[in-house]
C-alpha cells in the first residue's frame, strides 16, 4: 500500500470518530458492488507469441491470482499463476498436468474504463538472460511430478519454474511476487527479469537461471503441495513485506496440515530478503464458515498492510470469502524459536502451545453476503479507505479436453469488481 493510501486511511478513521454516518442510508449498511468487468481472454498463443506454440485452445486466465493498483486510476497490475494445469486421475492416481508447458507466468496491466477492461501491457517472467521461464514444477521429491495434458507423459522439472500468486509494486518500476513451489518471495525488474528469489533454508534449489538466496525459515519448505505463499502486502513505513501461507504447513505431515487451523504470517525486510518477524494466525472453523467444505479447503489468498502490524487479510474456500482486520502487535514473534524447528513436537500446526499468543482479528467485510460474486476470489486490493477491488482466478477456463487434445472451456470468466464499503477500513 502506498504512503498516500495509508495517510488517507488514518485521516478517514479520525473523521469517522467525529462525524456519524446516517444510520438509515442503504449504502451505509452493506458493501455495494459499483463496477463488475470481465477481462479479455485472448488465445495463449496470441497472448505470448513466440513463447506458446500450441495452446490447445486455452485462453488467458488465472490473472486474478494477484491484484494491485497501478499508478493511474482504474488501472491494475495482476499476475497469472503457473499457467493452465489440471489434476485428472490416471490409472487410479491423481496427476498434475501442464497442457501448455511452455507458458510463461506473466504480469498483466489492465485498464478499466467505462465498464470495459483492456489489457494494456503484459510482462512474461524471465531468467537473467532474458529467456522466459515456465510454470513447471522445480524439484523431484519436493514438488509434484509434471505431466503432459493427458497425464500420460512425464515432463522435465524446471528449477526456474514459478507458481506465482500475488503481486505488489516495489516503488522503483519493478515488482514483488510470492509463489507456491519453494515457497518463495521473488523480486522482478520492470522488464520481467527475475532479480532475486528468496527461498527457505536448506531447499538446495540448483540450476536456476537467476539468483536464488536461502534466507527464509526452513520450516516453510514443509508447505502443503499447492499451498505455499499466496498472499503478499507491502509496508513502505517498515520497509517490509508481509507474506502468508495459503494453508497450515504440513508439519510434521500432510494429515496434520489438512486438519490444522493454524497458519503463519511472515515479515521480510525488502532490502535484504531476510525475515524480521513471524506470527501464528488462527483460521476460521469451516463448519461455520462454509459447511459444504472441509477444514483443508480453508485458504488465505490476499492481504494488504493497513498500517504497521495491522493487516486486511482474506480467508476463503472456493465458494465463500471474507476479509478480516488482523493485529499482530501483541502476538508472539515465533521467528527463530522452537516453533521454527521441524523437530519440535507437537508442532505448532498440531497443537498451539500455551505460551504462543496468536494474532487477533475481526470480521471487516463479508464478501459472501454480496450476491453474484465469482468463486475463487484471490486478488484483493485497497483503492481508498472505503473502496476495495477484488479479482477471481478462473483457472484458465480449464474444463476437460477432447480426444483431439483441445480444451472444452469451462465458461468461467476472469472478472474485476469494485466494492464500496459502508465505513472506512480504519
Q: Are residues 152 and 90 in contact, defined by beta-carbon separation less than 8 angstroms?
A: yes
Coil, helix or strand at residue 279: strand
The DSSP result for 160-227, as a single string, is T---EEEEEE-SSS-EEEEETTTTEEEEE-TTSBEEEEEEETT------SS-EEEEE-GGGGGPPTT-
The string of DSSP letters for 98-165 reads: -SSTTPPPEEEEEEEETTEEEEEEEEE-B-TTS-B-------BTTBPPEE-TTS-SB----TT---EE
Using a cut of 0.85, tell me whether the model's pTM lies above it. Answer: yes
Given a contact cutoff of 8 angstroms between Cβ atoms, the answer to whether 207 and 136 are in contact is no
Ranges of residues in the chain with a pLDDT under 70 are: 1-28
| Secondary structure class of 236 (helix, strand, coil) | helix
| 3-state SS class at 401 | strand
Residue 426 confidence (pLDDT):
81
pLDDT at site 21: 38
Q: Are 417 and 390 in contact (CB under 8 A)?
A: yes
Pairwise CA distance, residues 158 & 156, whole Å: 6
What is the rounded distance in angstroms from the CA atom of residue 28 to the CA atom of residue 420? 10
Q: What values do phi and psi take at 90, rounded to 5?
A: -125, 120
For residue 35, give the H/E element and its range: strand 32-38
What is the pLDDT, as a whole number, of residue 29? Answer: 72
| Separation of alpha carbons 208 and 288, rounded Å | 44
- Fold designation for 3-17+30-420: Methylamine Dehydrogenase; Chain H (2.130.10)
Supply the pLDDT for residue 10.
42
Burial (CB < 10 A; 0-12, 13-18, 19+), residue 36, is middle
pLDDT at 34: 97
The residues spanned by each domain of the chain are 3-17+30-420
Please report where in the chains the cell 497442457 appears, as a residue.
Answer: 99
Evaluate whether 176 touches 243 at the Cβ level (below 8 Å). no
What is the DSSP code string of 65-76?
TEEEE-SSTTEE
Q: Which residue has the cell 472444452?
A: 408
pLDDT value for 30: 86
Amino acid at each position: 500500500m502506498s504512503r498516500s493510501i495509508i495517510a488517507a486511511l488514518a485521516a478517514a478513521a479520525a473523521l469517522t470518530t467525529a462525524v456519524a454516518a446516517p444510520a438509515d442510508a442503504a449504502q451505509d449498511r452493506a458493501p455495494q458492488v459499483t463496477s463488475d468487468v470481465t477481462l479479455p481472454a485472448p488465445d495463449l498463443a496470441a497472448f505470448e507469441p513466440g513463447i506458446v506454440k500450441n495452446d490447445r485452445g486455452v485462453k488467458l486466465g488465472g490473472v486474478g491470482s494477484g491484484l494491485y493498483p497501478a499508478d493511474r486510476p482504474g488501472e491494475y497490475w495482476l499476475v497469472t499463476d503457473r499457467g493452465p494445469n489440471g489434476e485428472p486421475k490416471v490409472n487410479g492416481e491423481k496427476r498434475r498436468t501442464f497442457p501448455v508447458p511452455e507458458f510463461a507466468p506473466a504480469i498483466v496491466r489492465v485498464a478499466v474504463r467505462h465498464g470495459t477492461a483492456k489489457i494494456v501491457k503484459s510482462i512474461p517472467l524471465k531468467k537473467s538472460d532474458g529467456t522466459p521461464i515456465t510454470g513447471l514444477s522445480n524439484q523431484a521429491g519436493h514438488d509434484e511430478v509434471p505431466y503432459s495434458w493427458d497425464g500420460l507423459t512425464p515432463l522435465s522439472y524446471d528449477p526456474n519454474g514459478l507458481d506465482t500468486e500475488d503481486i505488489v509494486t516495489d516503488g522503483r518500476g519493478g515488482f514483488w511476487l510470492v509463489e507456491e513451489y519453494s515457497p518463495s518471495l521473488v523480486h522482478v525488474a520492470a522488464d520481467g527479469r527475475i532479480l532475486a528469489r528468496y527461498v527457505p533454508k536448506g531447499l538446495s534449489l540448483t540450476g536456476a537461471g537467476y539468483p536464488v538466496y536461502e534466507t527464509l525459515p526452513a520450516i516453510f519448505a514443509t508447505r502443503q503441495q499447492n499451498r505455499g505463499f499466496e498472499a503478499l502486502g507491502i509496508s513502505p513505513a517498515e520497509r517490509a513485506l508481509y507474506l502468508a501461507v495459503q494453508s497450515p504447513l504440513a508439519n510434521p505431515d500432510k494429515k496434520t496440515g489438512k486438519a490444522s487451523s493454524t497458519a503463519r504470517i511472515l515479515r521480510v525486510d525488502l532490502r535484504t530478503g531476510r525475515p524480521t518477524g513471524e506470527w501464528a494466525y488462527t483460521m476460521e472453523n469451516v463448519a461455520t464458515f462454509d459447511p459444504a467444505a472441509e477444514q483443508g479447503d480453508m485458504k488465505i489468498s490476499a492481504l494488504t498492510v493497513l498500517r504497521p502490524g495491522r493487516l486486511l487479510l482474506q480467508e476463503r474456500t472456493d465458494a465463500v470469502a471474507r476479509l478480516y482486520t488482523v493485529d499482530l502487535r501483541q502476538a508472539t514473534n515465533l521467528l527463530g524459536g522452537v516453533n521454527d524447528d521441524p523437530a519440535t513436537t507437537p508442532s505448532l500446526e498440531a497443537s498451539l502451545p500455551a505460551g504462543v499468543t496468536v494474532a487477533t482479528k475481526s470480521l471487516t467485510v463479508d464478501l459472501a453476503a454480496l450476491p453474484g460474486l465469482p468463486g475463487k476470489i484471490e486478488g484483493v486490493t485497497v483503492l481508498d479507505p472505503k473502496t476495495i477491488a477484488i479479482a477471481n482466478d478462473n483457472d484458465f477456463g480449464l474444463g476437460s479436453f477432447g480426444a483431439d487434445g483441445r480444451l472444452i472451456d469451462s465458461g468461467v470468466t476472469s472478472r474485476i469488481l469494485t466494492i464500496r464499503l459502508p465505513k472506512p477500513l480504519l
